[in-house]
Amino acid sequence: MTITRSTFKNSLLCLSLITVSLLFSSCSKDSSSTCPEVNKTVPQNELTQLDNYISASNIIAERDARGFYYAINNNGNSNKPNACANILVNYVGKLVSGQVFDQNQNASFSLKGLITGWQMAMPLVGEEGEIIIYLPPTLGYGITGNGAVPSNAITIFTITLIKVNN
């Protein structure tokens, strides 16, 4: 069998196209396998503690089935973060006493690197949206606490979502 120069070039071109196509398909992101949605089970005693706080404080907020409360002050636009998003936010974190334990302007985060409560709540609003989240310890800083946050503390965050990069 004789291979002509033209046949060789065509074969080489086909092989190159197949290689490039395979490279692109292997690089595509499958967010379900690399960055799955986060769910944690909140113990009943924490749910009761949070329910009691919300009720006693006359807070108007919705209870999410996953174990936290939230109030959306502004829905924002349709660009909502997914579990792998990088977000730019302004936020204030408080304890139930009203003590501010953390706050920041134009803070940039990878959502998957934040506490579980943020990972669950932030997809509820879009860019330019504002949400207040009330987190039981399991979805916040847990039994260890963090800096000014004591162990087993309910935490409250007021968050303005400035920018989303999914």
Question: pLDDT tens, 49-107?
Answer: 999 999 999 999 999 999 999 999 999 999 999 989 999 999 999 999 999 999 999 99
CATH code where residue 97 lies: 3.10.50.40
Give the tens place of pLDDT for each residue, 13-32. Answer: 444 433 333 333 333 444 44
**Residue in 75, 72, 78, 80 with CA at minimum distance from that of residue 157:** 72
Residues 6+ apart with CB under 8 A from 79: 126, 127, 164, 166
Two tokens, residue 17: 């196209």
83 lies in some domain? yes
Residue 118 domain boundaries: 42-165
18 lies in some domain? no
- Number of structural domains (the chain) is 1
b/e per residue, 102-132, with b = 16+ CB within 10 A? Answer: eeeeeeebebbeebbbbbbbbebbbbebbbb
